[in-house]
Amino acid sequence: MRSFEEGKVSILTPCYNGEAFLDRYFAAVCGQTYDAVELIVVNDCSTDDTEAICSAWRPKVEGRGYAFRYIPLDVNRGAAGAINAGLPYVTGEFLIWPDCDDTLMPGSIAERVGFLQSHPGYAMVRSDYAAVRAENPDVVVEYGSDWADLGSEDIFEDLIFERTFCTGGCYMVRSRVFFERIPAGGIYWENRGGQNWQLLLPCAYKNRTGYIDKPLYTYYIRPESHSHRIDGDEYSGLRKKTLLLHEIQRQVINGFHLLSDDEKAGYLARIDRRYCMKRLNLALRYNRFGDATAEMQALERMRADPGIARRVLYRLCRIGASGGILKGHSFFYNLTNRPRTGSRG
């Protein structure tokens, strides 16, 4: 069984082509008020000056008193694969995994460690976040508390169904709990994403999650980032992302050994209905009648009611009018969509 150093925090960060924001990231890490830290940076086969910047920061990180491990990958694996490559090197009692294009606020680590040390019955703790645009970081666009359900300490289903944020940098988990919950010692990464669900869901299942009611993480909104980038035409890109997230959630639930077969079947059915609704919403928004028909038929097979608003919009979609209705009438749009940011499942 793995052992972890009491009081130490492991910061595990994947990085791909991070030269534009690594200085900001490292400065925030070195500016933490907590001293017992190991930093693990996984360079996911970057093609820019990521390696040189990491090398330049090594003496500053180590001068701060932090251990620094740099792991270069020969093949680009995506964020989940990069995190998976760093997991064997985690030695801290606590684990966090902020993105390299975001930042930790100065007391972020200390306050989370303090919570977990004073609440031994909790498997992890989360804080609020402040979302800003990279071009104007002094203006907060949104706080996670603006929309997320933060009232529950049992957040397993909240994470699955996105009733709360799963932004990785907002969480700190007990390493012992996490590694006990993933007997294989790693996460599923072939689809290159979904790392936050894979790291958080095992810890959240039948465990308590604490909440610190202040923003301890700054989430930078960048249109070109992996979580915001749309490949190809907009509709096809959004639909592809929805299909990928659907597959990842199914894989996570199927592979979670603590769930009974009945629990898995129940969650998978609910996940299938949810993503079918999401794809139907997209098809209606972009007037894709063929895809909308396929999703309506799938919902019928699941015996799931799409609701009156979607039925009306589906009829309008046949004549290419549903997209205009959704864009022009917020009533219909709000019935079929819940705008949400800050999640990087």
For 5-221, which CATH superfamily applies?
Answer: Spore Coat Polysaccharide Biosynthesis Protein SpsA; Chain A (3.90.550.10)
The three-state secondary structure class of 237 is: helix
Q: What is the CA radius of gyration of the chain?
A: 21
Split at pLDDT 50, 70, 90, the class of 232 is low
pLDDT in tens, 94-128: 999 999 999 999 999 999 999 999 999 999 999 99
The C-alpha torsion from 332 through 333 and 338 to 341, rounded to 10°, is -170
pLDDT in tens, 313-338: 999 999 999 998 887 665 544 555 54
> Residue 51: is it exposed, middle or buried by C-beta count within 10 angstroms (0-12/13-18/19+)?
middle
Q: Average pLDDT of 141-167?
A: 96
Per the DSSP assignment, residues forming a β-bridge with 324 are none
User: Where does the chain hold its CATH 3.90.550.10 domain(s)?
Assistant: 5-221
304: Cβ contacts below 8 Å, ≥ 6 apart:
273, 276, 277
The three-state secondary structure class of 131 is: strand
